[in-house]
Structure 1
């Protein structure tokens, strides 16, 4: 058994299928199957269950997976350890971001990374937080900014900041009689014509759960997943929206929207920096993770991001 076989086996498990692993590794699928057979023959035990939903590791496969990840992580860090701390990190770091986070964070991160770590190339992918989390678990991204931590197994998660959710709408809408900037109860907001993401979206689920806690229900007038489109529809006067205050800050300053805080209960959302603890952590990923933490908190401290700093005050070690 060699490192290549361990890498192939780990990719098959993480991707959930031979075909996806072959695409990611750029290896012919029959070659992957042959390597796995050789491993099973050498060890004398089956390593994978093959079914209609893909492949899953057997009990022996789970044991091998844990050891393989540890070995691969140590091997990935070996060049950095040999070169010493003075060596500049290099390579590609993939980061998954929700769209609203990317609007504020991507440019400062890329600029700072180019200055501090010129040998590192950053690739940013945007999607809803739930998709970003899936990418992180599959290994499609190395770092992620996410909102939900309901299942933190296998992840390193650090609370960066907490942002307020607010109700907003155009000045032409008259359903909200409270003065702009003053609070509106969630019970009252639930009775408005709302433009929201559909059920299953993290933000919508949070709103629905908060409404259920006070015996209310939310019936959205319009459901659409894109925050950008929610704002565009709200600008046309088709209803009110509920989004992070940061997402509508520019429109509020321009007079396009009026905003109201939500109370009973107050509505907040936590933002986390996340990474896998089950895969190798190269020095470039560690460096960009620490830089991301610094920049995200700096945006809050500099009031570019309307939020409060998270509970985790110390920078994440990121395997360090």
Structure 2
């Protein structure tokens, strides 16, 4: 006896077909969420990605687009009542991945749960991969930044009270390792004098084990008036790769290479068209020296007239674009 196919089943079939078609066309599509906002590689074939609408970290096979094969909810570890912590940046150092939230104000001008910097450890259990929390989430980074003598001129304390996408709001969206084992924070906003602000943290292990953050000297670079959406240090290139974009929802995206020295201007990288994407994360795989994967925050993408965020989780998806050689 044949069973009728429900509308929900039809929707899932259509969604899976879309995932397959997107991959065959050279643009991978991954299911189970819309808002790819931060990511890091896991070995040579997998990546873990954050969704800025919850505190769940999801693992995907980069070469087999579909739904996550593992996920872990860190809401309890982060000590938040609201699951939307606005995770925006990730940086891998050894077997750890450091994660940072936007530290921005929400619609009520209260950052609250959006002020966390924390670490997870990648554990391999036989053929399984798991993420384990490390230490304690760091909650006072904004206070450290606003108190730092070299950062006072940027007015971060006032910026933190403004909407993050306003001209002078505060919004952290980039996190990278540094060649010396530290972290580099990249700001989407503010952009002092139209330039992009980066701030190093010298003791990432210490801050998740009870130490105060050691803040280094800030750096300003020219990204054509754009802010940072993602930043990652490439060991093979010996440079940072930066995805830059507008501080709001209007404007263009550009990928840059940067040596890390304030005297050296970032250089635009030819990536092909990014139009139609909302690049928010960059994944550098250890086996690919000159090829990277850009992940798109596709919350606003419409399929059959329905925006991604209005669909059920199983019907949501985000795109990944390969750039480089």
Structure with higher Rg: it is 1
Q: TM-score, normalised by structure 1?
A: 0.22
User: Which structure has more helix as a fraction of its residues?
Assistant: 1
Q: TM-score, normalised by structure 2?
A: 0.22
Asked which structure has the greater RCO (Cα within 8 Å, sep 6+), the reply is 1
